[in-house]
Structure 1
Amino acid sequence: MTITAGTSHRPQPEAGAQSSQPAITPPGGSPGPQRQEASRTGGPGHRPAQQTVAAWAALRRRYWATVPARLRLLRAATIVLAAALALLLTLAGLAALGTWNSVADRDAPRTTSAADLDLALNDMDAQAANILLSNGDAGKGRLQTPYQKAVGFYGDARKEIGHDLRTLAVAAQGDKTDEKTVESLTDDFAEYQELIGRALENDGHHGGKASALVDYRKATDLLQQQLVPAARTLVSSNDKAFDAEYSSARSTLSSQLTAVVALGVLLLAVLGALQWYLARRFGRNLNPGVLAATVCTLLAVLLGAQLLTSTADDLRGARRDAFDSVVALSRAQAIAYDANADESRYLLDPGRRDQYAASFLTKSQELYGVKGATLTTYDTELATTWQAYESDHHDLRFTGEFRRELDNITFAGERAAAETTVETYAVYQRDDRKIRALLAAGKEDQAVEFCMGWEPGTSNAHFGAWMAALDKVTDINRAHFTASTDEGRSAVTGLLPWAGGLLLAAMALTALGLRPRLAEFR
């Protein structure tokens, strides 16, 4: 037997057998098997990063690595974007309807109610002066036709004021400043009616004209110093509120249009990518379902954009083209009635004739302003500046409410109606000079009869012709305001359902178009 030094032949343990000897820790703290494994994997601190990578890998395998996963992802993106676009258009459409409801049912009516209140207050005061002027001495020497008409107009104006105050009280709810203004107007109007009632009662007694004039002075001072300024404050306040809402609505519509176009382009891009992938992967030129969905989406985006742009255009037409003129003309009418009242006050109250003459000129300048004109030169200056305008419609040498209207001519027939208004106004102005000339000549009875008469050629008849012309141009703008609001509402109710329906169809067509392709992988 041969013995080899330094070698030993021992049987090797079988796989999986455990050694009977205890594990020996290497000197120097060498890592064991577990520490070696941790060292190979980067240590415990690297496990979250590995888990994140693994999660992304799993998501990629599930949602993108395979053809069905990619198709489902593109289908989901299409449906989500289409639903988002439909929701955006729905919210935009509802907001637009809310804007139209506010414009037509709140903003415009409360502004015009304030203007109507201003007009009715001045008309009531003018008719009170006319009653006192035409009544004679307790009915003796009464001018029957002017008296009866003045009494009728007085009652109509009083009813109109009551209606306007109720409308403005409702409109002012929530606005502390306007609420206080309407409350003050209501209290002051009650005091005004009491003073006028006392004046008319005194005028019914023989020799009571002087006492009636004292009460009328108090009433008309209250009107001019408190009632009319408060009414005009409400006109401005309500008009500014309307204008602020208009600006906000236009800005919102612009933002919504940008969002609709952006979402629409993104949706069309996803549909285009889906069509390209189907053609590339399956060797087909076009998928009919996806193609039909693309057409529906394109039409929906176009309809949505048209809805928003037409709403913005109609809103501008209602506010800027039509209602700006309505406000200017309503102010002009209220000022006209106030100026007409100044003529009656001028004849009624000799002690205040200079005051009322100056007030008449001031109101004339508010209507048709001519720099530096006096009552003596006003007619000549008016004729000269108007002739310049007729020669060149861009040559406007005057200011005032009529200038505001002529700067905003928009609709068919509006310019001719506005020009007629100025021309009839010029006739009325010449009548005023005749009244003053008759009075200066000592012909007071003739001046009163010419001022208050309704026969053709008298001042009241010419005033009526002027107001009819003013009403005509106002009605043109009111009609277009109403038409713009109706068109705006129709655009929303007509286009929104179609746009929403097309987007729903796009979602359904996309799902149907992909269904056969996905079925190939089942």
Structure 2
Amino acid sequence: MTVLLLTAACAALLLVAALAASRTWDSTAERHAPQTVSAAGLNLALNDMDAQAANILLSNGDAGRGRMDVPYAKATEFYDAARHTISGDLRTLAVAAEGDAGDERAVETLTEDFARYQELLGRALENDGRAGGKADALTDYRAATDLLAERLLPEARGLVEANDHAFDATYTAERSALATQSTVLAVIGLVLFAVLVLLQWYLARRFHRVLNPALLAATACGLIALVLGLHLLASSGELLRVARRDAFDSVVALSRARALAYDANADESRYLLDPSRRAAYEQSFLAKSQQLYGVEGATLSSYDAKLTESWARYRADHEDRIFTGEFRRELDNITFTGERAAAERTVETYAEYQRDDRTIRSLLAQGKEREAIAFGISWERDKSNAHFGAWMKALDDVTGINQAAFDGAVRNGRDTATGRLPWAVGALLAAGVLTVLGLRPRLAEFR
């Protein structure tokens, strides 16, 4: 009876643990990670939409006269794409928020603010389409970008943080549960093994037999079940760690970096568009640059030199802590094949984009406003937007490596939770049946 109770306890524990792990993988793959990524994508698309609106105003000339055709067409295309992305992300987040009053309110508020933001930008673009409407267009654009900075972006970042924290809480709880379940399973499994050994010893002494083959087989099945069960729990915990810490932590850091990149790029366009706010936009650009790649004491005039120096020190010694920021978070979390080369390429393309920013400001300081605008919003080879595109491609590459690793860990975690469970439970059932079969002949001798 004791053996049967112990095998039943092990089987029940494994069933509970595997079902809980499966639920965690489901919530990870279908709720927490997609919500966090959608919220980060929303943050990025908001910044991109604002940047493209500024680029449209910069390239349109006077109601189309003197228009920079290629930058204008590109900006219009990207503006519409960002607007559609935001609408889709808001729908995704609204569906995911159902049942959570706080998330529902957050998404509802963000949706209402976005509607107001679209209205202001639409009015700015409409005013810019009429002769002499530039001043009114700029007034409307200022109101829109203020709404973006004061409400929309903080709301979007809040959703990113809330969803990421929810994921982290689920991860921490499940890892703790798996550790506890492993300990309990090991104790019960060792007790089962000890009982089976003692039973074998007792039968050998009582009935003067060396071994009971059925009990010996039951003991082997119990050990196999214990090893399989412990491996199931340990593998689930390790794959969960890989998914969250090795892969998704990097996905989040890189998503933040991408959103900051688009915001910094928008600051360049705002700087060119609105002379009265140039000092503020210049400081904002520097602040975002420091969030991406932070170098203590750097100003815009010294940033490039400090970036070059600190990057050389890092390449010589990866433990050198001379710089901080989102890029540092990723570089400190290198795990997967090809990830370091891709992450370093991201910093190198970022440095090139930063040098372009200084060219824009230099041209403007020389009174070459049209040349500065053309360099800043052009997609021609060796112009600022072309280098920005190369930087985003590099960011996408390193993000893709981590996303693929995350997807692989989720897939393997699901397979582990469901694939090994039947074998472990089957071995426990076999141990119970073999114990009964082994004891029946001995019990019959008492009749």
TM interval, shorter chain, is over 0.9
Residue 315 of structure 1, CA deviation: 0.4
In structure 2, what is the equivalent of residue 130 of structure 1?
55
1:396-435 equivalences in 2 (<5 Å): 396-435=321-360
User: Aligned partners of 1:192 and 1:132: how far apart in 2?
Assistant: 16
Structure 1, residues 72-109: CA drift from partner, whole Å, max 9, x if none?
xxxx1111111111111011100000011011111111
Residue 140 of structure 1, CA deviation: 1.1
Residue 418 of structure 1, CA deviation: 0.6
Q: Is the 8 A contact 1:261 1:301 kept in 2?
A: yes
In structure 1, what is the equivalent of residue 234 of structure 2?
309
In structure 2, what is the equivalent of residue 44 of structure 1?
none
User: Which residue of 508, 513, 518 maps to 2:433?
Assistant: 508
Q: Is the 8 A contact 1:82 1:504 kept in 2?
A: yes
Residue 340 of structure 1, CA deviation: 0.3
Q: Which has the higher helix share?
A: 2
In structure 2, what is the equivalent of residue 479 of structure 1?
404
User: Aligned partners of 2:442 and 2:169: how far apart in 1?
Assistant: 54
Structure 1, residues 146-191: CA drift from partner, whole Å, max 9, x if none?
1111111111111111111122222223433322221111110000
User: Aligned partners of 1:452 and 1:173: how far apart in 2?
Assistant: 40
1:46-125 equivalences in 2 (<5 Å): 76-125=1-50
User: Aligned partners of 1:184 and 1:492: how far apart in 2?
Assistant: 39
User: Aligned partners of 2:242 and 2:265: how far apart in 1?
Assistant: 33
Indicate whether 1:300 and 2:214 are aligned: no
| Structure 2 gaps, min length 5 | none
User: Aligned partners of 2:92 and 2:208: how far apart in 1?
Assistant: 71
Residue 423 of structure 1, CA deviation: 0.5
In structure 1, what is the equivalent of residue 85 of structure 2?
160
In structure 2, what is the equivalent of residue 227 of structure 1?
152
Question: Partner amino acid for 2:209?
Answer: R
User: Which residue of 367, 374, 390 maps to 1:449?
Assistant: 374
In structure 1, what is the equivalent of residue 183 of structure 2?
258
Indicate whether 1:281 and 2:203 are aligned: no
Residue 212 of structure 1, CA deviation: 0.6
In structure 2, what is the equivalent of residue 5 of structure 1?
none
Residue 309 of structure 1, CA deviation: 0.3
Q: Is the 8 A contact 1:388 1:396 kept in 2?
A: no
In structure 2, what is the equivalent of residue 58 of structure 1?
none
Residue 355 of structure 1, CA deviation: 1.0
Question: Partner amino acid for 1:178?
Answer: D
Indicate whether 1:387 and 2:312 are aligned: yes
Q: How many residues align?
A: 447
Q: Is the 8 A contact 1:79 1:507 kept in 2?
A: yes
| Structure 1 gaps, min length 5 | 1-75
Q: TM-score, normalised by structure 2?
A: 0.99
Moved more, 176-185 or 238-247: 176-185
In structure 2, what is the equivalent of residue 268 of structure 1?
193
Secondary structure, counterpart of 2:420 in structure 1: helix
Indicate whether 1:291 and 2:216 are aligned: yes
Residue 519 of structure 1, CA deviation: 2.2
Indicate whether 1:182 and 2:107 are aligned: yes
In structure 2, what is the equivalent of residue 333 of structure 1?
258
Residue 142 of structure 1, CA deviation: 1.1
User: Aligned partners of 1:202 and 1:393: how far apart in 2?
Assistant: 52
Structure 1, residues 40-96: CA drift from partner, whole Å, max 9, x if none?
xxxxxxxxxxxxxxxxxxxxxxxxxxxxxxxxxxxx111111111111101110000
In structure 1, what is the equivalent of residue 171 of structure 2?
246
Secondary structure, counterpart of 2:65 in structure 1: coil
In structure 1, what is the equivalent of residue 424 of structure 2?
499
Which gives a bigger RCO, structure 1 or 2 (Cα 8 Å, sep 6+)? 2
User: Aligned partners of 1:157 and 1:264: how far apart in 2?
Assistant: 57
Structure 1, residues 6-55: CA drift from partner, whole Å, max 9, x if none?
xxxxxxxxxxxxxxxxxxxxxxxxxxxxxxxxxxxxxxxxxxxxxxxxxx
Moved more, 304-313 or 386-395: 386-395
Q: TM-score, normalised by structure 1?
A: 0.85
In structure 1, what is the equivalent of residue 395 of structure 2?
470
Structure 1, residues 226-261: CA drift from partner, whole Å, max 9, x if none?
000111111111111111111111100011001111
In structure 2, what is the equivalent of residue 195 of structure 1?
120
In structure 2, what is the equivalent of residue 8 of structure 1?
none
Question: Partner amino acid for 1:394?
Answer: E
User: Which residue of 206, 223, 226 maps to 2:131?
Assistant: 206
User: Aligned partners of 1:254 and 1:521: how far apart in 2?
Assistant: 45
Residue 520 of structure 1, CA deviation: 2.3
Question: Partner amino acid for 1:80?
Answer: L
Question: Partner amino acid for 1:255?
Answer: T
The structure with more radius of gyration: 1
Question: Partner amino acid for 2:105?
Answer: K
User: Aligned partners of 1:274 and 1:332: how far apart in 2?
Assistant: 63
In structure 2, what is the equivalent of residue 218 of structure 1?
143
User: Aligned partners of 1:259 and 1:391: how far apart in 2?
Assistant: 47
1:346-365 equivalences in 2 (<5 Å): 346-365=271-290
User: Which residue of 141, 144, 150 maps to 2:75?
Assistant: 150
User: Aligned partners of 2:232 and 2:7: how far apart in 1?
Assistant: 17
User: Aligned partners of 1:195 and 1:521: how far apart in 2?
Assistant: 93
Secondary structure, counterpart of 1:207 in structure 2: coil
User: Aligned partners of 1:248 and 1:389: how far apart in 2?
Assistant: 36
Residue 495 of structure 1, CA deviation: 0.7
